[in-house]
Homo-oligomer: A and B are copies of this chain.
Amino acid sequence: MKHIEGGICAAKGFKASGIHCGIREGRTKRDFALIVSEKKAAAAGVFTQNLVKGAPVILSMQNLRDGHATAVICNSGNANTCNANGMEIARGMCELVNRHLGIDPEDVIVASTGVIGQEMSIGPMAMGMKELVDALDDTPQASKDAAEAIMTTDTKLKEIAVEFEIGGKTCKMGAISKGSGMIHPNMATMLCFMTCDAAISPALLQKALSENVQDTYNMVSVDRDTSTNDTLTILCNGMAENDEIIDEDADYEEFKKALFECTSYLARATAADGEGATKLIECTVTGAKDKATAKTLAKSVICSPLVKAMIFGRDANCGRVMCALGYAGVPFSVKDTSVTLRSDAGSVLVCHNGNGLAFDEDRALMVLSADEIYIDISVGDGEGTATAWGCDLTYDYVKINGDYRT
């Protein structure tokens, strides 16, 4: 699929902006973002399954019930979660959009990310709203500004845009996302905002999105901590002028491909940019009895602190991988299991028929010195295959989270 510039501003009729309004004292980073569609859009979202939900999550779920939305507003620096005035602030953010742009507050998706349980005031946002609206633009830079404004401990800006064709019409889809710590999406990632100019019914849009995350964001883990604010939303404003997708036909399949291209790219980028991470880990399990089993096994491996620390230390310790498979809680044939560690620098088979193998330590060290490490696991001759993404566990993860608030 063709990748293009522009992020969330690539699709027709979308503008974005990101400014610094001062949510956290002493910080000068952009912390306030806005995305607006020229026309009301079909909209869908998936949200955290954490029982402790941020007020913005609860409000966005309500506002998405009718399958439509026009704007997304988001702040970083405070998660607006476990705050006595949380719902008041989330509603206030939608009101700001209404006051400055005339958009119905119920057509606004709201999100917040940052510290949980910290007092919060609408003040800085109310003061900054005019500047945020004035900065709205449809340029690639505007998408980058918004992407920067939603970052917290992320070290890399995450955006993507693709071009595809539906019924002879050129459509574009773009996304920005953030997520670095507290990443173990269960339903969605920390924050991912997508825009698209294809026309699609809200029901099919939600279906495509809900299915999509099962193989993309829900297969990512940085630290097994499912956030309170995970939000993935998409607005489709139909301005590409394709015939609206209302059936699960070839057009729908094409749309799903574009969706997968964007979310799988960003999910992988989220793992690679895990807090403190120096290496991306991609674990693929093949030969499981079914896909669900393969997914559970792959996720158990990338979640294991011991596997994560071993990848950081470039130590080809197959016992860590076998142990993590063993406690995954799903059946597989230990005696048919093989494990290969692989990277651009080569590969080394460390376990065969369930038993550890002697291997060339120098070669293993070379393989594990790359930035992206693949753990290929075969557990038999079943049909089930799955891939999960994680990152190594480093001193910096401890450092970042030992003193997150200050």
Contacts and interface: CB of A to CB of B under 8 A. Distances in A.
Interface of A: 49-53, 79, 81-84, 115-119, 181-182, 184, 186, 223-228, 303-306, 309-310, 312-315, 317-320, 322-328, 331-332, 334, 350-351, 353-358, 393-395, 397-406
B317 A404 contact: yes
A116 B356 contact: yes
B309 A117 contact: no
A126 to B, nearest CB: 22
A358 B81 contact: no
B401 A309 contact: yes
A393 to B, nearest CB: 6
B117 A350 contact: yes
Contacts of A227: 323
B224 A51 contact: no
Nearest to A393: B398
B319 A50 contact: no
Contact of A223 (B306, B353, B398, B405): B306
Nearest to A304: B225
Nearest to A313: B402
Chain A contact residues, majority secondary structure: loop
B401 A398 contact: no
A331 to B, nearest CB: 7
Given A117-B356, A397-B309, A325 B51 contact: yes
A173 B313 CA distance: 42
Contact of A306 (B309, B319, B351, B401): B401
14 contacts: A51-B331, A82-B351, A82-B355, A117-B350, A117-B355, A184-B327, A226-B327, A228-B322, A306-B404, A313-B401, A313-B404, A317-B404, A395-B398, A398-B398
Contacts of A324: 225
Contacts of A81: 319, 322
Contact of A318 (B117, B394, B399): B117
Contacts of A397: 305, 309, 398
Contacts of A51: 325-328, 331-332, 334
Contacts of A353: 84
Given A49-B327, A117-B355, A406 B223 contact: no
Given A317-B115, A334-B52, A395-B395, A181 B306 contact: yes
A223 B315 contact: no
A116 to B, nearest CB: 2
> What are the 8 A-B residue pairs with the smallest beta carbon separation, nearest first?
A117-B356, A116-B319, A313-B402, A52-B326, A309-B401, A226-B327, A50-B326, A51-B326
B323 A116 contact: yes
A136 to B, nearest CB: 32
Contacts of A52: 322-323, 325-326, 334, 354
Most buried by B among A181, A304, A319, A403: A319
A322 B404 contact: no
Contacts of A306: 181-182, 223, 225, 401, 404
Nearest to A118: B356
A123 B406 CA distance: 55
B79 A398 contact: no
Nearest to A181: B306
A373 B97 CA distance: 45
Given A51-B331, A309-B400, 18 more contacts: A51-B326, A52-B323, A81-B322, A82-B318, A82-B322, A82-B351, A82-B356, A115-B319, A116-B317, A181-B306, A182-B323, A225-B324, A228-B323, A306-B404, A309-B402, A310-B402, A315-B404, A320-B404
Contacts of A334: 51-52
A192 to B, nearest CB: 19
